[in-house]
Amino acid sequence: MNRLQLWKVVSVVLLAGGLASAQHITSFSAPGGGTGFDQGTGGFDINPQGAVVGSFHDDNNVFHGFQCIAPCNTFSEYNAPGAGTAANQGTITFGNNLFGETVGFYVDANNVAHGFATEYPFRNFTSLNVPGAGTGANQGTFAGNVNPGGEIAGYWVDANNVSHGFVSYPPYRNYTSFDPPGSVNTFTAVATSLNLEGTVAGTYFDANGVAHGYLRYANGSFTEFNVTGAGTGANQGTESESLSDFGVVAGNYIDSNNVNHGFVRSPSGEITTFDVAGAGTGAGQGTVPEGINLLGLVAGMWVDANGANHGFVWTPWGGITKFDVPGIGTGANQGTEPATPNVFGVITGQWVDENNVHYGFLRTP
């Protein structure tokens, strides 16, 4: 049994002892986070040690990366070398592993994206650029996941604005690009969509603009899947959002009325669908899972009839629990937006107030 396999077994034992406490929600803001419209702080991933990584958007609309250790009373800010300093440029973080390696991408002064890998104390950065990635605005390399072995997965956008998936292994000198059969645009999901075995989960769009879920295995083979009831029009279909180390996928499917519904897919291909009670039934509303942990706990958001977001936790053994961060706004695109649960069921994410300012949060079970 290697180190990574041992981690999987130990995590099950630890998690079994960490689910009994009562829910507790805390809010946090990175120093320097802006206080204007669509500014502020967002948590994206949390590792087993409680290290939260994310980004904050300052008063000049520039992005910066951060790490804080739960309950996030102190912060370490970082900026990738070469990151731009104009509006909507800067450093955007998506994931970290149990050894503290942190990945994301930075947008340079020409609005080109470059992936990065770093770790505390964030003085050394490895820049990630897939050969063939475009050098125009909104093109480049986007790193989104890192597993305990240091493998990184993400996607890259070429000079024709077509997206492709990639994986890379330390020391990140070589890249393997991939596209599922039938794909005209391939995306990997972020934060928790690359597992210990090197399997990547994501979404691809076909020539008709329909979304399909996929798994890309370490040997280069693919499994495509579609949830029964998914729509077959443009921007409808099946979207993978997260993958556990046991090979369980969580995501959402969009029906013919453009309503979102949650699903969980087992390693054998069995699909369970679910909807949070009270979720809206209009276009863009419904149930949207975001992250899954080792034992299958799914965190996500449900969108109500007013377009406001609320948090939920789905478990195979206990159904659905709703939650909201105190102080959230209740208008469209406001509310609670969970991102990722760690092995102990601690969830990070962001919430948006009535002034559309963003804040990070932690929810302990």
Structure token pair of residue 18? 């960490």
* Full-model pTM: 0.93
Report which of 91, 28, 85, 65 is spatially closest to residue 350, judged by C-alpha positions. Answer: 28
> How far is residue 267 from each of residues 13, 178, 228, 250, 264, measured CA to CA in Å?
21, 21, 17, 11, 10
Q: Above 80 in pLDDT, residue 3?
A: no
pLDDT digits (tens, 9 = 90+) for 54-72: 999 999 999 999 999 999 9
Q: Are strands 40-46 and 51-57 parallel, antiparallel or unpaired?
A: antiparallel
Average pLDDT value for residue range 352-362:
98
pLDDT digits (tens, 9 = 90+) for 115-161: 999 999 999 999 999 999 999 999 999 999 999 999 999 999 999 99
Average pLDDT value for residue range 80-87:
98
Report which of 184, 182, 243 is spatially closest to residue 217, judged by C-alpha positions. Answer: 243
Which pLDDT band holds residue 15 (cuts at 50, 70, 90)?
very low
Q: What is the pLDDT of residue 202?
A: 98
Q: Which residues is 156 bridged to in the sheet? A: 141, 164
- Rounded to a whole number of angstroms, the CA Rg of the chain reads 19
Report which of 157, 120, 115, 119 is spatially closest to residue 135, judged by C-alpha positions. Answer: 157
Which pLDDT band holds residue 8 (cuts at 50, 70, 90)?
very low
Which pLDDT band holds residue 349 (cuts at 50, 70, 90)?
very high
For 270, list phi and psi in degrees, rounded to 5.
-70, 130
Average pLDDT value for residue range 25-33:
98
Q: Above 60 in pLDDT, residue 260?
A: yes
Average pLDDT value for residue range 39-67:
98
In order of start, what are the domains of the chain with their CATH numbers?
Answer: 3-364 (2.130.10.10)
pLDDT digits (tens, 9 = 90+) for 269-279: 999 999 999 99
pLDDT digits (tens, 9 = 90+) for 209-242: 999 999 999 999 999 999 999 999 999 999 999 9
Q: How far apart are CA 343 and CA 215, in angstroms?
A: 22
